[in-house]
Amino acid sequence: MSEVSATVSPVKSWFEQEEMLFRIRLCAPKANIIDAVMVTELSQAFEQLKGNNQVRAVLLDAEGAHFSFGASVEEHLPEQCAAMLKSFHTLLLQMLSVTVPILVVIRGQCLGGGLELACAGSLIFANPEAKMGQPEIVLGVIAPAASCLLPIRVGQARAEDLLLSGRIIDTFESQNRGLTQEISDDPEASAISYFKTHLKSKSASSLRFALQASRKGVIGEIKRKLAAVEELYLEELMKTHDAVEGLQAFLEKRPAQWE
């Protein structure tokens, strides 16, 4: 195993399985908050795949008991939200453009921006204790990326259920919705087993063509919709009282006063 990231980084990355599997790990437990630094480090990790024609898959997981509590609430405030959304959405589009499958391993909570990050991957492997959801609406805001990615993964009605209610679902419901590929006590081992069984022996070149074929037209549509939803978020939602009030109330640990 060859380590290729600094130990102080909130993200670690390395190659294994004869350099055919690229591992990326969130390393800021317990919450693994997806802030500006995390986004930058993740983007740099994915950049390492450019020009590498031997890798068959990426495995994305997280250190600690939880995958991620979500994006930084502080960075959602009006002064920072434009830069935050732009960098995070650029990362997600970068992930969608990776030409090998991204296997995502989830333990514990995977919420908000954490679930958006997972949905930019290919297949999700989770443990029985995992909890997933988009609770942004509880804070008076919306989940732009999930608004684009969830309908593709689980269908429009099921996506709207999660986006409008903000409720958290368990692993078994997520599997019933088609969000989770497999549930196991050791989802990392399950993801590696999937890689060894279904991907490792395949032609790296043909895998890339197969993934590109399955996403023809899809990435372009996501990019267009994401830009429109981002504009809705910044130019309309964040100019309302309730959106700012919900975020501030959360940070101040008090009930929100909706208008």
Which DSSP string corresponds to 14-60? EEETTTTEEEEEE-STTT--B-HHHHHHHHHHHHTTTT--S--EEEE
Does residue 92 form part of some domain?
A: yes
Q: Which amino acid is at 135?
A: P
Q: What is the pLDDT of residue 174?
A: 95
pLDDT, one tens digit per residue, over 6-35 is: 457 899 999 999 999 999 999 999 999 999
Which CATH number do you get for residue 139? Answer: 3.90.226.10
Is residue 198 helix, strand or coil?
helix
**Cα–Cα distance measured from residue 128 to residue 60, given in angstroms and rounded to the nearest whole number:** 18
Does residue 51 form part of some domain?
A: yes
**Cα–Cα distance measured from residue 34 to residue 98, given in angstroms and rounded to the nearest whole number:** 20
Q: What is the pLDDT of residue 205?
A: 97
Does residue 235 form part of some domain?
A: no
pLDDT, one tens digit per residue, over 42-85 is: 999 999 999 999 999 999 999 999 999 999 999 999 999 999 99
The per-residue b/e assignment along 193-213, b for 16 or more CB within 10 angstroms, e otherwise, is ebbeeebbeeebeebbeebee
Does residue 112 form part of some domain?
A: yes
Does residue 205 form part of some domain?
A: no
pLDDT at 99 over 90: yes
Does residue 56 form part of some domain?
A: yes
Does residue 115 form part of some domain?
A: yes
Q: Which amino acid is at 100?
A: V
Do 226 and 144 form a contact (C-beta atoms < 8 A)? yes
What is the domain range of residue 52?
2-186
Tally of structural domains, the chain: 1
> What percent of the chain is predicted at pLDDT more than 70?
97
Does residue 239 form part of some domain?
A: no
Angle between the N-to-C axes of helices 156-165 and 144-154, in degrees from 0 to 180, rounded to the nearest 10: 140
Q: Provide the pLDDT confidence category of residue 4 given band limits of 50, 70 and 90.
A: very low
What DSSP element (H or E) covers 12? strand 11-16
